[in-house]
Structures are given as C-alpha cells and as structure tokens.
Chains A and B, each alone.
Chain A
Amino acid sequence: MQRATSFESEAVPHLDAVYRFAFRLTGSAPDAEDLVQETFLRAYRSWERYEPGTRAKSWLFTICRNAFLRQRQHDSRRVEVMQKAVRDNGGNDLGPDTVLFMPAYQQDPEGTFFFSVIDRRILEMIGRIPPDFREVVLLSDLEGLSYAEIAELLVVPIGTVKSRLFRGRRMLQESLYNYATESGYVQPRTA
C-alpha cells in the first residue's frame, strides 16, 4: 500500500510528460500509450530502486527510452551516420556557426520570424531532424532536463549532449528559416 501511495504521488504526476516523450519517440498515439504503460509498469516493479526525492521524471524518461529502444531492436533501421559524426567530433568542435544559423540571423537578428511559424509546424520540423539530435532537443528544450540529466539518461558524456543539442538546434533554425522563407514570412536575403 505504501509503495502504491508513494508511486502515485511521485511518479504518476509525470504521466503527461512521459506520454509526450513517448509520443515523440513513437510518432503514434496508440504506440505511445503502450509505451507509457510499459514504462510505468517497469517503474512500479523496480520502485524500491528509486531514491525518493530525486528526479523521478528523468528516471521515468530513462525507463521509457530503454523500453522504446528494446522495441526498436526488432527494427533493422539504424541511424549510424550522424552518431558517428557526433562521436568523431567528441563535442570539442563547436564554433560560432553551430550557435546561430547565419543566413537567418543576418536576415532577422532578433529572430522575430520564429514567432511567425505556427506551433505545429515547429513540432513537425523537430520531428524531421535526425533522431540523435531530435532526442536531445526534446529533452532539453521541451522537457527542461539539464545537460547532466540528459547525459545520464542517454549514457553519453556531457560534451556529446552539448554537441548534439547545439547542432540539433542549428538544424532546426535552418529548417524553420527555410520554411518561413518558402511561406513568405521572410524575404530571402539577396547576395
């Protein structure tokens, strides 16, 4: 009974956040619901391993992600190219061009065009960046996890988290700028 009560008060409040994360991982509402149920069931069964008062949200995200990856092992698709690129860079090769997408920044230094792109388009663009980068953008920008929490969740060095996050954000800036240009929100800058 005590376990159920503490699980209800510490873990269940993160249901919406875990669902959103599962939805972004699976891309489908029914698959997300299945993944959420598996996540909470696994979490409940190993509740004695959880330290009360620590970040239940990241712990649940870790369980969710691992469950998703186990499922995906049945899928033979692998996204190796970007993973290799990030590993080779080792997070030590970040220059100014990974901070700002320069064509967009030069055109609109205040970034006001970001607000002209409607929310569902932004979510769509997030869905299109490569998975390794998308994952970190979701965890940081949408779910508010710290670099250290993300590193622990993904079992990578913090440098790798930063590299993927900054590059992912830059990719997103570029695709949002291209979309805004094509939609006429921004006039492309002529050379």
Chain B
Amino acid sequence: MSDESCLDALLKLQPYLDGELSEADAEIVRRHFELCAPCTPALHYLRSFKEALQRASAQLPPAPPELADRLRELLRRDGQSL
C-alpha cells in the first residue's frame, strides 16, 4: 500500500466509522483496512475508543421518572392558557 493511500484511508477513518462516507468511499476505506496490515490496528483502536464512549453514554442518568408527568402538566396548563 502506498503512503498516500494509507494517509487517505487514515484521514477518512473517522467519517467511515461515523457512517458519513458514500457507499463507494466507505468500500474503499473498508478494503484498505482489510488489506493493509500496518493500518489495520488504527481501525481497531478507533473502534475501541468509540465503543468505550458509547458504553459510557449508557451510564448517563435518564430523566427522573416524575419529570415526564410534570412536563405533561406544564404543557396541559400552557395549552389551556394559549
């Protein structure tokens, strides 16, 4: 793999993992990381990073249970006053 194609793939790696590339570009990136042994770890590294963030986001607190009811009451009263 040429240095140029490695650099290009690396710069497209995040948009690729974010699902932001066209199908054609995504396929080029996918193949590069499949075939280029020196570059393959970068894919795993960033995937691990993203997965860790997504796992952490599951720990964010949900809305308190009573907030939905308070909200509905607020909107109901607002609907009557409008």
Whether chains A and B associate is yes
On A, residues with C-beta under 8 Å from B are 3-4, 7-8, 12, 15-16, 18-20, 23-24, 29, 33, 36-37, 40-41, 44-45, 94-96, 99-100, 105, 108-112, 114-115, 117, 119-120, 122-123, 126, 137, 140-143, 146-147, 162, 165-166, 169, 172-173, 176
Question: Known contacts A110-B41, A111-B45, A119-B59: does B11 contact A96 (CB below 8 Å)?
Answer: yes
Rounded to whole angstroms, the CA-CA distance of A36 and B46 in the bound complex is 33
Chain A residues contacting B50 (CB-CB under 8 Å) are 141
Chain B residues contacting A176 (CB-CB under 8 Å) are 52
Q: Can you list, as one digit per residue, whether each of B42-82 has a CB less than 8 Å from chain A (1) or not (0)?
A: 10111111111111111111111001101110111011001
Closest to A123 in B: B56
Tell me if A23 and B41 are in contact (CB < 8 A). no
Tell me if B49 and A99 are in contact (CB < 8 A). no
Tell me if B63 and A119 are in contact (CB < 8 A). no
Q: A7 touches which one: B15, B53, B64, B75 (CB < 8 A)?
A: B75
How many residues from B make CB contacts under 8 Å with A?
43
Chain A residues contacting B18 (CB-CB under 8 Å) are 140, 146-147
Q: A142 touches which one: B7, B53, B62, B67 (CB < 8 A)?
A: B53
Tell me if A141 and B53 are in contact (CB < 8 A). yes
Rounded to whole angstroms, the CA-CA distance of A183 and B49 in the bound complex is 18
Rounded to whole angstroms, the CA-CA distance of A95 and B61 in the bound complex is 35
Tell me if B75 and A19 are in contact (CB < 8 A). no
Rounded to whole angstroms, the CA-CA distance of A7 and B82 in the bound complex is 16
Tell me if A169 and B14 are in contact (CB < 8 A). yes
Chain A residues contacting B54 (CB-CB under 8 Å) are 141-142
Tell me if A120 and B59 are in contact (CB < 8 A). yes
Chain A residues contacting B46 (CB-CB under 8 Å) are 99-100, 111
